Amino acid sequence: MPPTNFKPDEYKGMSKEQLLAIRRKNCNPMTMKITYYKKPVFIHQGYMQWMWDMDGRRYLDLFAGVATVGVGHCHPKVTAAVVKQMKKLWHTTNIYVQPALHEYCEKLASHLPDPLKVVYLTNSGSEANDLAMLMARLHTGNFDIITFRGSYHGGSMQTMGLTSNSPYKYPIATSSGCVNAMCPDVFRGPWGGSHCRDSPVQTIRECSCAQGYCMANEKYIGDLKETFATSLPSRIAGFFGEPIQGMGGAVQYPKNYFKEAYKLVRERGGVCIADEVQTGFGRTGTHFWGFQGYDVIPDMVTMAKGIGNGFPMGAVVTTPEIAESFVKAYHFNTFGGNPMACAVGSSVLDVIKEDGTQQNSLKVGTYLMTEMAKLRDKYEIIGDVRGKGLQIGVEMVKDKASRTPLPPAAMSGIFEDIKDMGVLIGKGGVYGQTFRVQPPMCITKEDVDFFLAVFEKAIHNYMATK
């Protein structure tokens, strides 16, 4: 494991047994269900790309609380900024004109292209997407919203309707008017090829497309047109799209898909919403926002996670025209844009620039993907490696010919083994078949080499038990 000069504090709190007893008795049972591992990890402290458990064991964190800790755990500059603000003013609502809110809104807006210049601050990504749904419907006067199958846009009653991923949907009535179109997945979907994605690594699927032409894109756009013709009214409110699907397993689409899809949506009166909750703030490396990789400008951008490096905050950024539609009634958020959140958000933007975080994401992420692609070519059960920057998916299969997902028990065994060797990653995909690598964007090439060795060892261990 690469060395670090940071020395964590000795843990002196409750025992593991006490913590688990409280988790069973006083925490909602959902917290037990989502404990990732058979042998839970008891986290005590974090610093940059590292985390330590209660026994002092160090882990390389390659999941970052689901792409949330963008610039590093307890980054000194971000920590100093929030401590400074806490000593001045913890909280006041946006009823009052307080400097931190207005300074941050101006700074955040400067990172987006015209006409995306009006900011509304929230507490989470679910709330941001919920709000964007409301604004789209108010502005257009239409109701229906379209998303991709496999998408995840939040867990509120409203956003659960947008979400199209079975494990995150309860058997209750959620927001109506949400239609799910086929996800243009060029690896698992019916159409794909060897030049479709904006990624350093392409699929193993072959195609005979001429340069500048993508048959898969044409087919998926054709399916989208059929969805409009059969499942939606002639006028719609909007379209939500993650530039790279997060919970869906880092799924990428054909390069020109969004450009053509946005045109179809706007022809039907709808607005286009880019869900940047996981892809924003430099994570894709080539651009600050994921949508910029498709050469499009959405009508709204929703964001959270990396916006606050783990502090609970989110935002909707839109145009003045759409924002004006929102004043038909009062919408109040007690904590959105509170001084501490704004101090954190402002500091994160500074750190991304000062530390070269986006550039590191591109350099280290590209290295990780290209090296992982060598393992894909070596092992039959690694079906696909994809992504941009440090938003990466590794899809596991029974075999490359069928692309049948690797069963959950096998995924869990490899996952647990990787953790036991000192690396934390995530899982996703409609069938839970994709390992997700979305680390703090401060990781190094040495960290990647360690992970690659761990990952290959875990694959060897699994193959030996078959």
Give me the residue spans of the domains in the chain: 16-67+357-465, 79-354
| Those residues with Cβ within 8 angstroms of residue 268's Cβ, 6 or more apart along the chain or in another chain | 228, 232, 234, 235, 236
Strand pairing class (300-303; 271-275):
parallel
pLDDT band at 32 (very low <50, low <70, confident <90, very high): low
What value, to the nearest 5°, has the Cα angle with vertex 447 and ends 406 and 2? 125
Which residues partner with 178 through β-bridges?
A: 145
Exposed e or buried b for every residue in 330-346, given b needs 16+ CB within 10 A? eeeeeebbbbbbbbbbb
Query: Which 3 state secondary structure label does DSSP give 125?
Result: helix
Class level of CATH domain 16-67+357-465: alpha beta
Average pLDDT in the 227-238 region? 97
CA nearest neighbour of 335 among 131, 123, 100, 127: 123
- Which one is predicted more confidently, 230 or 169? 230
List, for residues 127-167, the tens digit of each pLDDT value: 999 999 999 999 999 999 999 999 999 989 889 999 998 88
pLDDT, position 157: 87
pLDDT, position 33: 67
Which residues partner with 245 through β-bridges?
A: 251
pLDDT, position 93: 84
pLDDT, position 176: 84
List, for residues 244-283, the tens digit of each pLDDT value: 999 999 999 999 999 999 999 999 999 999 999 999 999 9
52: pLDDT strictly greater than 90: yes
125: pLDDT strictly greater than 80: yes
**End-to-end Cα spacing for the chain:** 28
31: pLDDT strictly greater than 80: no
pTM of the model: 0.96
Rounded Cα distance, 423 and 416, in Å: 10
pLDDT band at 173 (very low <50, low <70, confident <90, very high): confident
pLDDT, position 240: 98
**Residue 368 burial by Cβ neighbours in a 10 Å radius (0-12, 13-18, 19+):** buried
pLDDT, mean over the chain: 95
Fold assignment, 79-354: Aspartate Aminotransferase; domain 2 (3.40.640)
332: pLDDT strictly greater than 90: no
